[in-house]
Structure 1
Amino acid sequence: MHITNVISQYFGKFARFEFPAFIQTIINSAYVKFLGLNMSEFRNPKFYKSLNDLFTRELAIPREIEKADNLFISPTDSLITQCGKIEKELALQIKGMEYSIEELLTYNCAENFHKMHDGDYMNFYLSPKDYHRYHAPIDFEVKRLLHVPGKLYPVNLKYLNKQIDLFIENERVILECIYKEKLFYMVFVGALNVGQMVFEFEPKVETNCDTNEIKIYEYEDLKVEQGDCLGYFKMGSTVVMLWEKDFVKLENLLGTNVKFGELIAKM
């Protein structure tokens, strides 16, 4: 097991631990103040029984989502660190740092590689202060979930600029998605500290555990609606979205912060 996984497991134990209420309130309040969390849409920090509860907090005030069947909304609150055209089979993790989408998706998706060549991509970075839940960007059908074990390097801008093939090295969960016979992928990339990802429709997925085996879950008629909560990161991380060629036109969002529910692409 890589040192990043070990560190994340130990931090995860601390984050899950429920201290006595008055101590937990101090820890939570210090975390909120230190990172500058905006808690206006959430419960009071003292409500959360552990740091894990605070990391994975639900919206106390639901957001109004204007649903549309020809628009993709942001699945997360995040910074768009890179987006654009997939050049044949290459995308950018950050300016000047290419990675192979074929390696990202693994050979298990080889039958669809040709569809993704010259398609589009967008990278969403969730910092530790962001809302950590991820949502359906449009109505779609989940065909497969792939859990790919790996390391847990940090995914902040510093590491994106220095760690080659970071998205490929790190543990990830891949959703293969269909919208009106068009293909897109959502790739959830693990990161240092806790390093766990939860999917509400698939409780069998267990990330940051001692395994090297890629696990694949296949579904028939598993449909989700735009805005549905798919799951959550236990700490900050990254989502990569990949669309097949001639599917979407991306909004010009490079370097901007987006909120879950905001427009990111049109058909």
Structure 2
Amino acid sequence: MNKRHITSLISQQFGRFASKEFSPKIQGIVNNTYVGLMGLDMSDFYDRSTYKSLNALFTRKLREDRKFSKRKAEFISPCDSYISESGDLNDEDALQIKGMRYDCHTLLGDNFSDEEKSIVDNGKFINFYLSPKDYHRYHIPTDLQVLKAVHIPGKFYPVNISSLKMRVNLFIENERVVLLCESTNGKKFYMVLVAALNVGVMQVSFEPNIKTNSSHLEPTLYEYEDLHLKKGDDFGCFEMGSTIVIIAEENMLELENINYSDVKYGQTIAKYV
């Protein structure tokens, strides 16, 4: 990729609008309109009038953290989302949506070795779709160590269900941040943050050098020797809705019955095998 795609430019323009702080009266109209049109449930958050920009409303934090299982063997949802697909990998292939497969090795990019990518062959995958109405922050699903992070610049196609049905390899074309993690039971898994149209920014709190939807056009690898995070830790947010893909190695997770359902951050979605 040697120049920014038109979807990047559109997202940057929308991001400027979303970050602008209007007068309290105008901002109130903007916030009320967004909450009403998208059907946001604000019961877990501060009043809509307290957010000084549309982007502040997108990236809102919970008033109080959710309660979740402290059991080491339980794996929680990292976000509020819709599970568009989940299940078993066919070798290295996962479902983007029913009937459309993509290659996980390609999704993970070229900064991981073949050996690192092959650990997930015949493992499990979960696709979390965050719509514009959802809580946009993401959390750590289990106690873990982050081994590597890779920022892969790309496009910013919409990732809603209708777009997933129309565009093959959508996750692979879009900009993403890939985290290689090791859980406390010694198993490895990947968390892939996939950008989408409008704003296109993905914040990663432990790595401020990652600047998504920027002029940086080449993949960048970050490696860590002692980066440990706890279940439930808030480690960033999408500025607008997007997707998280979790890909776990074989014999790591036993998934709950979550396919085609809404899940909440903190909900147990799998258990260690």
Q: Same fold (TM over 0.5)?
A: yes
Supply the distance in 1 between the matched residues of 2:191 and 2:65 (Cα, whole angstroms): 23
1:48 corresponds in structure 2 to 51
| Residue 249 (structure 2) aligned to one of 244, 250, 257 | 244
Aligned length: 267
Opposite residue 242 of structure 1, the aligned amino acid is: I
Opposite residue 166 of structure 2, the aligned amino acid is: K
- Report whether the alignment pairs 1:200 with 2:205: yes
Runs of at least 5 residues in structure 1 that lack an aligned partner in the other structure: none
- Report whether the alignment pairs 1:161 with 2:204: no
2:120 corresponds in structure 1 to 116
Over residues 86-115 of structure 1, what are the superposed CA-to-partner deviations in whole Å (9 max), with x where a residue is unaligned?
Answer: 101100010011000000001222221221
1:66 is displaced (CA, Å) by 2.1
1:181 corresponds in structure 2 to 186
Over residues 137-162 of structure 1, what are the superposed CA-to-partner deviations in whole Å (9 max), with x where a residue is unaligned?
Answer: 00000001100000000000000001
Is the partner of 1:52 in helix, strand or coil? helix
Contact between 2:122 and 2:250, CA under 8 Å: does it hold in 1? Answer: yes
Contact between 2:80 and 2:135, CA under 8 Å: does it hold in 1? Answer: yes
Over residues 10-39 of structure 1, what are the superposed CA-to-partner deviations in whole Å (9 max), with x where a residue is unaligned?
Answer: 000000000011110110011001111000
1:87-236, aligned counterparts within 5 Å?
A: 87-109=90-112, 110-179=114-183, 180-236=185-241
Opposite residue 139 of structure 1, the aligned amino acid is: D
Opposite residue 176 of structure 1, the aligned amino acid is: L
1:75 corresponds in structure 2 to 78
1:257 corresponds in structure 2 to 262
Contact between 2:68 and 2:268, CA under 8 Å: does it hold in 1? Answer: no
227-236 vs 57-66, which moves further = 57-66
1:28 corresponds in structure 2 to 31
Is the partner of 2:199 in helix, strand or coil? coil
1:225 is displaced (CA, Å) by 0.4
1:62 is displaced (CA, Å) by 2.0
1:52 is displaced (CA, Å) by 0.4
Over residues 53-97 of structure 1, what are the superposed CA-to-partner deviations in whole Å (9 max), with x where a residue is unaligned?
Answer: 000000012211221111100000000000011101100010011
Over residues 110-144 of structure 1, what are the superposed CA-to-partner deviations in whole Å (9 max), with x where a residue is unaligned?
Answer: 22122111000000000000000000000000001
**Dislocated runs of 4+, deviation >2 Å:** none
RMSD between aligned alpha carbons? 0.8
Over residues 225-256 of structure 1, what are the superposed CA-to-partner deviations in whole Å (9 max), with x where a residue is unaligned?
Answer: 00000110000000000000111111111110
214-223 vs 58-67, which moves further = 58-67
104-113 vs 115-124, which moves further = 104-113
| Residue 11 (structure 1) aligned to one of 4, 9, 14 | 14
Opposite residue 195 of structure 1, the aligned amino acid is: G
Query: If the length of structure 2 is used for normalisation, what is the TM-score?
Result: 0.96
Supply the distance in 2 between the matched residues of 1:225 and 1:211 (Cα, whole angstroms): 30
Contact between 2:83 and 2:262, CA under 8 Å: does it hold in 1? Answer: yes
